[in-house]
Homo-oligomer: A and B are copies of this chain.
Amino acid sequence: MTLHERIRQDFEARILSGELAPGERLPTEQALMAHYGCARMTVNKALSALAVAGLVERRKKAGSFVARPRLHSMVLDIPDLAQQLTASGRRHAFRLTGRRLRPAAVADAGLVAQARRLLQLEGVHQADGLPFALEQRLISAEAVPAALEADFEAQPPGSWLLAHVPWTEAETRILAVGASEAEAAALAVPAGTPCLCVERRTWRLGEGITFVRQLFPGDSYDMVARFGPAPRG
């Protein structure tokens, strides 16, 4: 293990263990460079890394302080459906049940910004032949002209877009809804079945690319978010 990595881990451990409380000041670079017998740049690198990781806050002249922990953000794993299913040994298929190209309405502006024509897709994800999730999607014909030619049964829209269109921003909304009659029929569940509804909007430099609404019946799917110590590096 390298020296600046070791210094970093030393303090990471002491902070996470609570030995160094939030707000507490930690030694100056001078003191640390004497303690570890190294150059100031080395200490600096370790402390700077802790700062970008959010574990400490550094202020000129004042010193370095243990940061207050922030609960308010966690990393949410958003798996690719096809990839996740095949990884667990099941066969994934996407059946397209609707496809049309239409002009964008005023109400669509909040979903796919700046689009004038929208490719509207509807389909069902199947796992081993059984319906698994319902997908409704809008794709901006201006932002992704190639989508008009794509075969979305060979590759589901999500995977296709991921491979063909770089995006810079995304927002995901998660809520619970009951399945409507039509949705329930497509998913082969009773009407009103509680479903996890995932809505995602994606942008590229401010221009809307796609909006997708996925419906997962009840217990067939859940999302997991984790938070742990920052990865080493």
Q: Which residues of A contact B (CB under 8 A)?
A: 16-18, 21-22, 49, 52, 69, 71-80, 162, 166-178, 192-197, 204-205, 216, 218-219, 221-229, 233
Instruction: Knowing A175-B196, A177-B194, A194-B195 are in contact, say whether A52-B225 is a contact too (CB < 8 A).
Output: no
Instruction: Knowing A169-B227, A194-B195 are in contact, say whether A218-B78 is a contact too (CB < 8 A).
Output: no
A22: chain B residues at CB < 8 Å are 166
Contact indicator A73/B76 (Cβ below 8 Å): yes
A selection of 18 A-B contacts at a CB cut-off of 8 Å is: A16-B168, A21-B166, A52-B52, A52-B233, A69-B166, A69-B167, A72-B77, A72-B80, A74-B172, A169-B229, A171-B224, A172-B224, A172-B226, A173-B223, A176-B177, A176-B194, A192-B192, A196-B196
Counted per complex, copies of this chain come to: 2
| A169 in complex: contacting residue of B171, B194, B218, B228, CB < 8 Å | B228
Query: Within the assembled complex, what's the spacing in Å between the Cα atoms of A171 and B219?
Result: 18
A52: chain B residues at CB < 8 Å are 49, 52, 233
Nearest CB in chain B to that of A233: its residue: B52
| A172 in complex: contacting residue of B49, B225, B229, CB < 8 Å | B225
